[in-house]
């Protein structure tokens, strides 16, 4: 990828990462260095115009920050956004965490406001490109990127490129049923991996565990105490386990177990060289989260792919969506396929 756009002195990309709570922006140099990084709150309570304006203001600030020599080298905008998205239309579809962007043509809107070509991709796919370029998946022709955070998502990079599918939704690995009759998922499904193992899934299961509906008594004093202070999060459940709370311990054990079982399925299905695991939940858990996956793969996976695969932590942290904007643009800029389905005007 680096060869396609040249080395130092090559093109500069404006990276934009639109999430449910924050929007981040920075200029990304061919070295991967970020310049003019800034962020702001996502105006989720307002309409789409407010989000477009917030994005354009941040990007405008980045451009102003750049030295003239770098500003002259800016070629395009690479946008990472909570999915699902249609990358060819530059359209965000129905993101549960960013309601104002429902069906929004985000790429086209920012092209018009910044007067630069813009390329949109799902956050997990952009993160995979970032980890492939400068992080834990360097040199891999076949790998998966998985994030365990508020949600649980991922990307499949196979035979040297992202697997997209005709709707761009391939790699939405959090929405497979791991437990029939299990907890309800944010997508409406039941027993999905995301509902069991993600931060929001853990929080939802924890809420169900505070009070026994039949007896009306608190069955997790730890969670009841936390909930009296603030709405429960996945972090509360993880900390409850460390504090010895039996409900939290059971929920965390099941979350790791479901994740480990899902990993075996991915190894058998996609034969990845590596599974790169990021996201705040997995990062805080560290080896505690990765080791059960390795053990389950070794015990139950198909022999050849299980012997090959490495389960590793992501390396790029919270700026992965900004860093990944550079290889996203490097891969797509100048190829008319990526802008041919944009709405006119």
In the complex, which residues of this chain contact Zn ion (CB under 5 A)?
Answer: 175, 185, 187, 189, 192
Give the nearest distance from C-beta 231 to Zn ion in angstroms: 21
Residue closer to Zn ion, measured from CB, 102 or 138? 102
Q: What are phi and psi of 155, to 5 degrees?
A: -150, 145
Give the nearest distance from C-beta 182 to Zn ion in angstroms: 11
53 prior amide bond cis, ω within 30: no
Give the nearest distance from C-beta 195 to Zn ion in angstroms: 6
118-122 and 74-81 beta bridge pairing: parallel
Residue closer to Zn ion, measured from CB, 134 or 263? 263
Cα 185 to its chain centre, rounded Å, is 17
Residue closer to Zn ion, measured from CB, 164 or 173? 173
Give the nearest distance from C-beta 193 to Zn ion in angstroms: 8
Residue closer to Zn ion, measured from CB, 60 or 189? 189
CA–CA distance, 290 with 293 (Å, rounded to integer): 5
Residue labelled with tokens 């949600």: 151
Indicate the SS3 state at residue 212: coil
If you count DSSP H runs as helices and E runs as strands, how many of each does the chain have, helices first? 15, 12
DSSP 315: S
Sheet containing 118-122: give its strands across.
Answer: 34-41, 22-28, 12-18, 74-81, 118-122
Indicate the SS3 state at residue 35: strand
Residue closer to Zn ion, measured from CB, 155 or 329? 155
CA–CA distance, 305 with 229 (Å, rounded to integer): 46
Residue closer to Zn ion, measured from CB, 99 or 189? 189
Residue closer to Zn ion, measured from CB, 189 or 265? 189
Q: What are phi and psi of 190, to 5 degrees?
A: -125, 130
Residue in the shown chain whose Cβ atom is closest to Zn ion: 185
Residue closer to Zn ion, measured from CB, 84 or 292? 84
| CB-count burial class (<10 Å; 0-12, 13-18, 19+) for 21 | exposed
91-92 and 85-86 beta bridge pairing: antiparallel
| CB-count burial class (<10 Å; 0-12, 13-18, 19+) for 15 | buried
């Amino acid at each position: 990828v680096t060869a396609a756009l040249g080395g130092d002195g090559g093109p500069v990309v404006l990276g934009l990462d639109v999430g449910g709570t924050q929007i981040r922006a920075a200029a990304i140099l061919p070295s991967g260095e970020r310049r003019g990084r800034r962020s702001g709150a996502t105006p989720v309570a307002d309409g789409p115009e407010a989000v477009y304006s917030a994005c354009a203001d941040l990007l405008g600030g980045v451009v102003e920050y750049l030295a003239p020599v770098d500003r002259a080298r800016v070629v395009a905008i690479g946008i990472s956004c909570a999915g699902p998205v249609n990358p060819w239309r530059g359209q965000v579809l129905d993101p549960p965490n960013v309601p104002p962007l429902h069906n929004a043509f985000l790429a086209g809107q920012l092209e018009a406001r910044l007067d630069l070509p813009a390329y949109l991709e799902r956050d997990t796919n952009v993160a995979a490109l970032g980890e492939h370029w400068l992080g834990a998946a360097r040199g891999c022709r076949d790998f998966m990127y998985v994030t365990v955070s508020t949600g649980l998502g991922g990307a499949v990079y196979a035979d040297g490129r992202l697997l997209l599918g005709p709707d761009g939704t391939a790699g939405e690995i959090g929405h497979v049923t791991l437990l029939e009759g299990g907890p309800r998922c944010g997508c409406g499904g039941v027993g999905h991996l995301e509902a069991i193992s993600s931060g929001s899934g853990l929080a939802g299961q924890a809420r169900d565990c505070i009070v026994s509906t039949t007896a009306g008594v608190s069955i997790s004093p730890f969670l009841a105490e936390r909930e009296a202070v603030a709405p429960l999060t996945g972090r509360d459940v993880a900390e409850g386990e460390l504090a010895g709370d039996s409900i939290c311990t059971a929920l965390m054990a099941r979350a790791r177990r479901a994740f480990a079982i899902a990993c075996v399925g991915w190894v058998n299905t996609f034969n990845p060289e590596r599974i790169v695991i990021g996201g705040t939940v997995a990062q805080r858990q560290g080896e505690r989260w990765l080791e059960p996956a390795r053990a389950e793969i070794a015990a139950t996976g198909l022999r050849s792919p299980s012997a090959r695969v490495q389960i590793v932590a992501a390396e790029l942290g919270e700026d992965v969506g900004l860093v990944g904007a550079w290889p996203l643009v490097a891969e797509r800029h100048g190829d008319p396929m990526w802008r041919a389905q944009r709405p006119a005007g």
